[in-house]
Amino acid sequence: MSIQLILNNGANQQAHKGVPVKIFTTDIEEEAIRQLRSLAQLTFIHSHIAVMPDVHVGKGATVGSVIPTKKAIIPATVGVDIGCGMNAVRLSLKAGQLPDNLAKIRQAIEAKVPVGFNQHASITAKMSTLDPLAKRLKCITDKHPGLLKMLRNFERTWARQLGTLGGGNHFIELCVDENQDVWVMLHSGSRGIGNCLGEYFITLAKKERESRFGYIPERDLAYFAEGSSGFADYLEAVQWGQDYALENRREMMRLIINVLKQTLPPFVPTREAINCHHNYVSQETHFGENVYVTRKGAISAYEGELGIIPGSMGAKSYIVKGKGNAQSFCSCSHGAGRCMSRGKALRTFSITDLKVQTLGVECRKDKGVMDEIPDAYKDIDRVMANQQDLVTVVHTLKQVLCIKG
């Protein structure tokens, strides 16, 4: 389906003082609409805001939004998990080659890839990966030494967290597609260092109170204007965070593949579907203008570009190919999207509910992951139906093993 709802359209645009907001679903909360109306009032938004079918309320800005800006960037729209994204690799294994009980494989992966707040006891990443990151990070911290106080054992921690999962909705999965091919899929971002960079520059933008482009409806929408030192420094930091997140996923995938080689029949990876961000900013051209595109909970879906749209724990996921839809700024959803807060999920569901909803999936089934129960997320089939104009499904994946932080 195409655009289903437009805010600030036609005569209403003047009444609400903002650019149009084009939404690819009708399943959207009132608070998310309020957030989007506030965002639309910023005068440096280019053309319109596009909103994906997995939209829901977010901290600072709405998750599932694609925001093109001219000569300014809003740090809170990128958020604090800079570069969070997905990686998927297809293996030369068939489902029938997997053991009936996957518990030992889950335990072996958990022993090699730290989850939650944990980190490696020693650095696992190659120095050829770490050294360039370290040099670039020093340039950032030399200008902003306050960052060093935001992460305990700063230098050691960011290096040891490379190749770790984190918590929340981050995951590692084994999946089987419609051809019975086995895939490894994971979701993670820039870990503690990304959080520090995000929080630091969001706070700095609020302190600087840039007013070059006029009225700011909410403090969370504080921005850096092109030409300012804050703008240049944030762009440098956010690019670093995005690169770190990319390497974090690569290192995790390397560790997981090594575990699987020790526990499964011989195989080779046959295809890396994608390793991409869904919380990030990039420079792109849309509707004849060079702009900064911030995708907060959305992935790039240019014509022919492969992407990953995961469902909730126990649901289907999809490998997709972009259609390059101009109205979405060549974007699509980054997942199913939450329909229930973490707190409400904990109050609503029981361990029995979790076991029923994750039947057939080797995963944790305890209170520690209750807030990630499938029914706390939107129906992935409905989300996919709402973005038929944005992507084509290439593969449909079903999880058989899921590791959460």
Geometric angle at alpha carbon 233, from 240 and 297, rounded to 5°: 55
395 catalytically annotated: no
CB atoms within 10 A of CB 178: 10
Helix ranges (DSSP H) in 217-350: 229-263, 342-348
Cβ contacts of 178 within 8 Å, gap of 6 or more: 395, 396
Answer yes or no: are the C-beta atoms of 372 and 170 closer than 8 Å.
no
Residue tagged active-site, from 170, 278, 286, 334: 334
How far is residue 19's CA from residue 36's CA, in Å, rounded to a whole number?
10
How far is residue 367's CA from residue 348's CA, in Å, rounded to a whole number?
12
From the list 14, 16, 54, the residue with the least C-alpha distance to 36 is: 16
From the list 27, 87, 38, 82, the residue with the least C-alpha distance to 295 is: 82
**Sign of the C-alpha dihedral computed for residues 35, 337, 167 and 260 taken in this order:** negative
Measured N-to-C along each axis, helices 229-263 and 103-112 cross at an angle, to the nearest 10 degrees, of 140
How far is residue 232's CA from residue 235's CA, in Å, rounded to a whole number?
5
B/e letters for 73-106, b = 16+ CB within 10 Å, e = fewer, are bbbbbbbbbbbbbbbbbbbebeeeebeeebeebb
3-state secondary structure (DSSP) of residue 333:
strand
Which tokens in the block code for residue 24?
A: 């690819």
- The gap between the terminal CA atoms of the chain, to the nearest Å, is 34
Which tokens in the block code for residue 184?
A: 């490894």
Active-site residue set: 334
